[in-house]
């Protein structure tokens, strides 16, 4: 298993370019099920999760090919309707094929995802929505089966805004008969990107990016030719890395507007951040000051940046209170940050971080994707060497992390 070794204490400086958004590319790839022909998706990051989705679509009978940041999916034939356990256990986002498969073929069987490192993460709202649209949902031997000759438009209210739930039902509704209204829908930029991709295929969607999304079903969609938005979480991770090292970094090919909550908070810790079109300039402070955060659905502070922000707060001047409102178990990084000397106390959904002057390098373990990013950030600022085990987690969501950080001067290497 690969490890990352980081020699801390270098101020990052230079330029880094952001890759396409993993969490936008995954649903857009699943949307290709809704067409019949050659789908070309560009600005797709080269990541393990992307190839898992590609292999799953190939398992369904589609052609899948990835080259130079492009994914090409041939969707003329769908030969299978099942997302097997092996794919879903590797990547929960496999569940995104559920909606489009029922819409296209009238039937889908998807392995029910189990709990994961950050929480129970049920998919009851995905199936509730499909049921409202007329699908018959059954659960047998760990698989959800959804069946409907043709889905029917429905009024669907989400108890909680769910990102992949909104995406699944939005895709399903594009080919349904009549109008579907999604209320309390997720407003994340990735949902908007998927809506734009579907609109480019001929779908009728209004209101994506607000909590009410209206979809009028059509009988057919064209194949995709679509460019994915930049990854706001990768962008945020580099902003935080620049801030914690007191560095000066230019972040290119990003969308500053998608990171307002984070940028605002990082500025309050003392960093100077300015934006010009698709570029951000970040100048980290000598030592960050403490700030409280509460994770919230977009446009609130993203849960996917909570762990990285906590690493920054671990060395802040003062005490920070971090509240995780989205996932019930997303503090797995705390025990690892403590191994580096961080003073963090957790009570329920709240972590109280008493900033210390310097973290000390240690051997730590990545437990999930964003937790591993927080350990990298902590390692960049720590005194001495940090060795991060189980980096396959980071490879799921960060393209060429060590090359990109190395390009900014970080002393980081992968140990095979």
Residue 97 binds ligand EPZ (CB under 6 A): no
Peptide bond into 299 cis (omega under 30): yes
Tell the smallest beta-carbon distance from residue 415 to ligand EPZ (Å).
24
Distances, alpha carbon 404 to alpha carbons 262, 266, 365, in Å: 21, 21, 21
Element of type H or E holding 243: helix 232-244
Nearer to ligand EPZ, 190 or 389 (CB): 190
Contact 130, 172 (CB under 8 A): yes
Contact segment (CB under 6 A) with ligand EPZ among 61-69, 97-105, 121-129, 141-149 equals 121-129
User: Edge to edge, what strands does the sheet with 411-415 contain?
Assistant: 363-365, 385-389, 3-7, 411-415
Q: Which is nearer to ligand EPZ, 121 or 283 (CB)?
A: 121
Closest to ligand EPZ by CB, 336 vs 341, is 336
> Which residue, 165 or 284, is less far from ligand EPZ as judged by CB?
165
Query: Is residue 327 involved in binding ligand EPZ (CB under 6 A)?
Result: yes
The reply to whether 37 sits near ligand EPZ by the rule CB under 6 A is no
Residue closer to ligand EPZ (CB basis): 125 or 410? 125
Q: What is the C-alpha separation between 355 and 337, in angstroms, rounded?
A: 12
Contact with ligand EPZ (CB under 6 A) among 60, 266, 326, 376: 326
Contact call for residue 269 and ligand EPZ (CB under 6 A)? no
Q: Is 28 in the site for ligand EPZ (CB under 6 A)?
A: no
Contacts with ligand EPZ by CB under 6 A: the residue count is 24
Q: Which helix (H) or strand (E) holds 155?
A: strand 155-157
Asked whether position 303 contacts ligand EPZ by CB under 6 A, the answer is yes
Catalytic site residue 400?
no
The CA angle 315-318-249, to the nearest 5 degrees, is: 45
DSSP calls for 209-225: TBSEEEEE--S-BPPPE
> Which of 125, 148, 194, 353 is the binder for ligand EPZ (CB under 6 A)?
125
Q: Of 177, 111, 109, which is closest to residue 149 (Cα–Cα)?
A: 177
Query: Residues with catalytic annotation?
Result: 116
State the residues that interact with ligand EPZ by CB under 6 A: 23, 26, 93, 119, 121-126, 160, 162-165, 186, 190, 303-304, 326-327, 369-370, 397
């Amino acid at each position: 298993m690969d490890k990352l070794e980081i020699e801390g204490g270098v101020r990052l400086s230079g330029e880094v370019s952001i890759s396409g958004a993993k969490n936008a590319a995954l649903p857009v790839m699943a949307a290709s099920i809704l067409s019949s022909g050659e789908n070309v998706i560009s600005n797709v990051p080269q990541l393990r999760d992307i190839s898992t989705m590609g292999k799953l679509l190939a398992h369904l009978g589609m052609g899948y090919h990835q080259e130079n940041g492009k994914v090409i999916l041939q969707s003329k034939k769908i030969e299978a309707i099942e997302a097997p356990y092996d794919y879903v256990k590797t990547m929960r986002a496999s569940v995104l094929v559920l909606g489009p498969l029922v819409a296209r073929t009238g039937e889908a069987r998807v392995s029910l995802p189990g709990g994961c490192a950050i929480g129970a993460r049920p998919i009851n709202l995905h199936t509730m929505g499909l049921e409202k649209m007329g699908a018959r949902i059954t659960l047998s031997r760990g698989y959800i089966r959804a069946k409907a000759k043709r889905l029917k438009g429905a009024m669907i209210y989400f108890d909680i805004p769910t990102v992949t739930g909104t995406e699944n039902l939005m895709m399903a509704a594009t080919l349904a008969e009549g109008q579907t209204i999604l209320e309390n829908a997720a407003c994340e930029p990735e949902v908007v990107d998927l809506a734009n991709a579907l609109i480019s295929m001929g779908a009728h969607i209004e209101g994506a990016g607000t909590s009410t999304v209206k979809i009028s079903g059509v009988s057919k969609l064209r194949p995709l030719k679509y460019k994915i938005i930049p990854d706001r979480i990768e962008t945020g991770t580099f902003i935080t890395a620049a801030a914690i090292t007191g560095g000066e970094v230019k972040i290119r090919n990003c969308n500053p507007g998608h990171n307002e909550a984070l940028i605002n908070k990082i500025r309050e810790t003392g960093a100077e951040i300015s934006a010009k079109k698709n570029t951000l300039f970040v100048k980290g402070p000598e030592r960050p000051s403490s700030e409280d955060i509460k994770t919230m659905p977009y446009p609130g502070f993203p849960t996917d940046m909570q762990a990285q922000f906590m690493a920054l707060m671990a060395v802040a001047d003062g005490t920070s209170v971090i509240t995780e409102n989205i996932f019930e178990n997303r503090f797995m990084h705390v025990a690892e940050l403590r191994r580096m000397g961080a003073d963090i106390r957790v009570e329920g959904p709240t972590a109280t971080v008493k900033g210390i002057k310097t973290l000390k390098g240690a051997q730590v373990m990545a437990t999930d994707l964003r937790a591993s990013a927080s350990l990298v950030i902590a390692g960049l600022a720590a005194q001495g060497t940090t060795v991060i085990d189980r980096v396959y987690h980071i490879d799921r969501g960060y393209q060429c992390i060590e090359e990109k950080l190395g390009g900014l001067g970080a002393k980081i290497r992968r140990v095979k």
